[in-house]
Amino acid sequence: KAGVTQTPRYLIKTRGQQVTLSCSPISGHRSVSWYQQTPGQGLQFLFEYFSETQRNKGNFPGRFSGRQFSNSRSEMNVSTLELGDSALYLCASSRGDYQETQYFGPGTRLLVL
């Protein structure tokens, strides 16, 4: 079974631009969660999608948004990029029960200049 894939793996943007990251979950998984990891704050939850609906949302500004498609693939978008958005963005998939193991993708490393 293929694992969670994320594209692109690396990205360089400038302040004010917007970016879209993609996550393809493990086949059969309906839940996709997004996390931001920075050296200062560690891992922080962004949002979770289940069956094309946002089921849970972390404490991030509205510049961070996401969506999920009918095949469970998910995208997250960050508009008006700031220097502080430089981070590793990870997605994780599961079948959907909060008690389950989540399977993480390799991450997208975003650098904002």
Partner 1 sequence: KNEVEQSPQNLTAQEGEFITINCSYSVGISALHWLQQHPGGGIVSLFMLSSGKKKHGRLIATINIQEKHSSLHITASHPRDSAVYICAHPGGSQGNLIFGKGTKLSVKP
Residues that bind partner 1 (CB under 8 A): 33, 35, 37, 42-45, 48, 55-56, 58, 88, 90, 92, 98-107, 109
Shortest reach from residue 84's CB to partner 1, in Å = 18
Asked if residues 4 and 93 have their Cβ atoms less than 8 Å apart, the reply is yes
Q: E strands within the chain?
A: 5-7, 10-13, 19-24, 31-38, 42-50, 53-57, 64-68, 74-78, 87-94, 103-104, 108-112
* Gap between the Cα atoms of 14 and 83, Å rounded: 8
Q: Is the CB of 16 or the CB of 24 nearer to partner 1?
A: 24
For the bound state, the minimum distance from the C-beta of residue 34 to partner 1, rounded and expressed in Å, comes to 10
Minimum distance, C-beta of residue 88 to partner 1, in the bound complex (Å): 5
Nearer to partner 1, 72 or 94 (CB): 94
